[in-house]
Amino acid sequence: MALLKVTFGFIVMSVLSFTSSLAYPGFFSWGGTGPAGGGSFGLFPEFYQFSCPQANEVVMSVLKKAIAKEPRMAASLLRLHFHDCFVQGCDASVLLDDSATIVSEKNSAPNRNSIRGFEVIDEIKTKLEEACPQIVSCADILALAARGSTVLTGGPYWELPLGRRDSRAASLSGANTNIPPPNSTIQNLITFFKRQGLNKVDLVALSGGHTIGVARCVTFKQRLYSQNGQNQPDETLEKTYYLGLKSVCPRSGGDDNISPLDFSSPVKFDNSYFKLILSGKGLLISDVVLFTGNIGDAMELVRSYAEDEGLFFHQFAKSMVKMGNINPLTGFDGEIRKNCRRVN
Ligand code: HEM
């Protein structure tokens, strides 16, 4: 009987999502609340069950090729979703190019010369437009690509709520003010995350995204040569790690030289990021202050995730769902872009 009820509920929900997704995807309510709840039009994992059942397969097949060709691409795509969600919500605003009506977020300080992966998103979108025209939003593609990239590098899988729609606007100033800079104090990081409805647990777990990918010399140079305004290196840096970093990141020049955020396994999603922080080998100030910033619960979380990879994976997945739920456009809001780089 219980099974029958569950099955029936699922069918009703699926049919509703199908019929509604044709005209106004997302016309279905979980009764979600608050800034991260999506108002009365909620997101749900089966959103494309009938309107584009192959959506995730298409995303994964493009990702597999792209990541095999360049392993760093997984990291770049994970970061794109983060930079999307922190600026007016997860609405693919980060993908919009400059145009007569758009001032692109791509030129903001955190994004310029830095975020990448747009060609991979374009390829996914082209394939999805062939398979199911104007059904799958660019914002959902970003969320699916972030999950897929995590899974393909060895990280956790999560049930991903879908049904985001795409914005018709971007916010350059939002990108400049809402994305935390790499030299943030722990207090600043907490404030930036709180603004998005995310707490300290989310902050520490999501920072674990730095278990893959790289950063440019310019983002950590200050630590090597002039921490705290004196001509001294950051004293929390382990000595041999510090010497290695100096060789890729000279005092003058070399700003675009790159170093892995997790040098022990830069293309593997694991918990070594936290182990490195404990041993003075975290790369960015924003990474090390999670442990050195004197906020007891953050320090404790770094220790726990370093000790227990399963615990980190579990919380990372939970916090990714939470981040992915920041202010989505649903129901009648926004649109489904045909090309992720421009409004229809
Ligand atoms: C806590 C605040 C955060 C700060 C201050 C921060 C800062 C940065 C910086 C400065 C870089 C290097 C950019 C460059 O050199 O061009 C970077 C890279 C990266 N970030 Fe973060 N980040 C934060 C949170 C996150 C979150 C929440 C995620 C995802 C869940 C994430 C995922 C990544 C990834 C995967 C890369 C490597 C990208 C690549 O190799 O292309 N970061 N981050």
Q: What's the CATH superfamily of 180-323? A: Peroxidase, domain 2 (1.10.420.10)
Closest CA to 283 of 314, 259, 306, 307: 259
For residue 40, the model assigns a pLDDT of 53
Closest Cα to atom 12 of ligand 1: 215
Residues catalogued as catalytic: 83
For residue 41, the model assigns a pLDDT of 73
Sequence-distant (≥ 6) Cβ neighbours of residue 70 within 8 angstroms: none
User: Running along the chain, 344 residues long, what does each successive block of 10 average in pLDDT?
Assistant: 37 38 38 40 94 98 98 98 98 98 98 98 98 98 98 98 98 98 97 98 98 98 88 94 97 97 98 98 98 95 98 98 98 97 98
For residue 229, the model assigns a pLDDT of 75
Give the 3-state secondary structure of residue 338.
Answer: coil
And the tokens for 217? 């010399």
For residue 34, the model assigns a pLDDT of 36
Q: Which atom of ligand 1 is nearest to the CA of 208?
A: 30
Q: What is the DSSP letter of 342?
A: B
Closest Cα to atom 11 of ligand 1: 215
Q: What's the 210 CA to ligand 1 centre distance in angstroms?
A: 6
Residue with the two structure tokens 């320090």: 299
* Residue 288 and residue 294 in contact, taking contact as beta carbons nearer than 8 Å: no
Residue 254 annotated as lining a ligand binding site: no
Closest Cα to atom 3 of ligand 1: 180
Written as one string, the DSSP assignment of 78-106 is HHHHHHHHTTTSSSSGGGPPP-SS---GG
Closest Cα to atom 36 of ligand 1: 213
- Residue ranges lining ligand 1, Cβ < 6 Å: 72, 75-76, 78-79, 82, 114, 116, 180-182, 184, 189, 206-207, 209-210, 212-216, 219, 261, 284, 286
Cβ atoms within 10 Å of 334's Cβ, excluding its own = 23
Q: Where are the beta strands (DSSP E) in the chain?
A: 214-216, 258-260
CATH architecture, domain 24-176: Orthogonal Bundle (1.10)
* Residue 217 and residue 257 in contact, taking contact as beta carbons nearer than 8 Å: yes
Q: What's the 224 CA to ligand 1 centre distance in angstroms?
A: 19
Domain-wise residue ranges, the chain: 24-176, 180-323
Instruction: Kindly calculate the radius of gyration of the chain based on its CA atoms and give it in whole angstroms.
Output: 20
On the question of a common fold for 24-176 and 180-323, the answer reads no
* Residue 67 and residue 139 in contact, taking contact as beta carbons nearer than 8 Å: no
Give the 3-state secondary structure of residue 285.
Answer: helix
